[in-house]
Amino acid sequence: MEDMIKGNHVFAEAAIRAGARFYAGYPITPSTEIMEYLSTRMDEVGGVFIQAESEGASMNMIFGAAASGVRCFTASSSVGMALKQEAICHIADNDLPFVAINVVRFGNGLGTLDTGQSDYLRDTRGGGAGDYRNFVLAPYSLPEAVELIGHAFDLGDKYGMGVILHTEAALGQMMEPCGFPEMKTVERRFGCVDGTFSHERISPLFRDRKSEAIEIKAKYLEIKEKEQLWESEFLDDAEYVLVAYGMAGRSVIGAVMQLREEGYKVGYIRPISLWPYPEKAFENVNPEVKGYISIEENATGQMVDDIALTLKKTKQSNKPVYCMTYGYGIPTMKIIKEDFIKVVNGEIKEVY
């Protein structure tokens, strides 16, 4: 029988089960329980736990742990993740893997303590200097978070990249029945820094920039082809497709089920990988679809841009794209249905 476990504790234990043995972070609501849990749990499994003096310092410690070949991770929330970006871009430059759990809260700057999805653009676009990307995975439940955290460490090792688990305050603070896999033993990565070798990219002076650019582009194209993740249903006859991730995705699935019972031909796409964005999901949509609706927990609409870009690639750029934003908080099925009717009646205009 699965136990009721708090989300932040689930994230921490899932990382331990995936073989992570180094954690460095700094407390920030609503992710602090991850640190609290690991302050004793990491010692129990023979790992290292450090509460650093700042977010930036903790991320540079992750840089060192990644370079030494250990599965490592950190956690923060929104503005705390912003403070980690300088170190993250340097980690990307050295092709090193890590996992960062972002328990997103709504708002700009310090923002609020409420749940939200305000960090979509920053997390999916890199966030620091350069044109690098991190994997970004967005669970909609705690059991799915367990699966994705294990997958995140494997992806990071496979491609030499960072992976962000893009969650939100509501998921980190809620409780849900959840189980865990057996403990995974992971060997230290081959080729790690051992004190006798320094990665040639550490110097900005002696680098083959052209070959680097070619390699980066080829790697990202391979990832986009192989690593897209999503859930979808009712696309073959859909007149409207609702697109949402995370907790908003839970509400959308329920709303779509009810709308279909009421006679509306609607379907949904729930992106699980926010980068790479699941463009392939849109290839399965009814060619006569009347429009797409992005459901987002932010003020201005962010994922809506990726939907529009995807439609252009799939030769559906003539299809209207609407955006229903709900600021902070998880939209209810009721309000999603009410706003959907407004779209159908022309009361809400398309963004693209």
Q: What would the pLDDT profile of 51-76 be if each residue is shown by its tens digit?
A: 999 999 999 999 999 999 999 999 99
Q: Which residue has the tokens 């403070």?
A: 83
Structure tokens at 53: 């003096």
pLDDT band at 3 (very low <50, low <70, confident <90, very high): confident
pLDDT band at 195 (very low <50, low <70, confident <90, very high): low
Of the chain, the percentage scoring pLDDT greater than 90 comes to: 87
User: Does 283 have pLDDT greater than 60?
Assistant: yes
Please check whether the two domains, 3-226 and 230-344, share a CATH topology: yes
Q: Write down the pLDDT at residue 203.
A: 58
**Per DSSP, what are the bridge partners of residue 325?**
296
Query: Is residue 23 within 8 Å of residue 50, measured between CB atoms?
Result: yes
Q: Write down the pLDDT at residue 204.
A: 61
Q: Which residue has the tokens 């809400």?
A: 348
| Rounded distance between C-alpha atoms, residue 127 and residue 3, angstroms | 37
| Fold adopted by 230-344 | Rossmann fold (3.40.50)
| Rounded distance between C-alpha atoms, residue 228 and residue 272, angstroms | 8
| Rounded distance between C-alpha atoms, residue 136 and residue 159, angstroms | 14
- Helix residue ranges per DSSP H, 137-239: 142-159, 169-173, 209-226
Structure tokens at 92: 């990307």
As its CATH architecture, domain 3-226 has 3-Layer(aba) Sandwich (3.40)
| Rounded distance between C-alpha atoms, residue 178 and residue 189, angstroms | 30
Q: Is 74 exposed, middle or buried (0-12, 13-18, 19+ CB in 10 A)?
A: buried
Checking DSSP bridges between strand 175-178 and strand 3-6, what pairing results, if any?
antiparallel
**Per DSSP, what are the bridge partners of residue 165?**
101, 137
Average pLDDT over the chain, rounded to an integer: 94
Phi-psi region at 159: left, alpha or beta (left = phi > 0; alpha = psi -120 to 50) = alpha
Residue ranges of the domains in the chain? 3-226, 230-344
Q: What single DSSP character describes residue 22? A: E
Contacts of 97 (CB under 8 A, 6+ apart): 66, 71, 153, 155, 156, 157, 159, 160, 161, 162, 163, 189
Question: What radius of gyration do the chain's Cα atoms show?
Answer: 20
pLDDT tens-digit map of 297-322: 999 999 999 999 999 998 888 999 99
From 94, 83, 165, select the one nearest 123 (Cα to Cα). 165
pLDDT band at 191 (very low <50, low <70, confident <90, very high): low
User: Does 36 have pLDDT greater than 90?
Assistant: yes
pLDDT tens-digit map of 229-274: 999 999 999 999 999 999 999 999 999 999 999 999 999 999 999 9
pLDDT tens-digit map of 90-124: 999 989 999 999 999 999 999 899 999 999 999 99
| Rounded distance between C-alpha atoms, residue 4 and residue 7, angstroms | 9
| Rounded distance between C-alpha atoms, residue 143 and residue 177, angstroms | 8
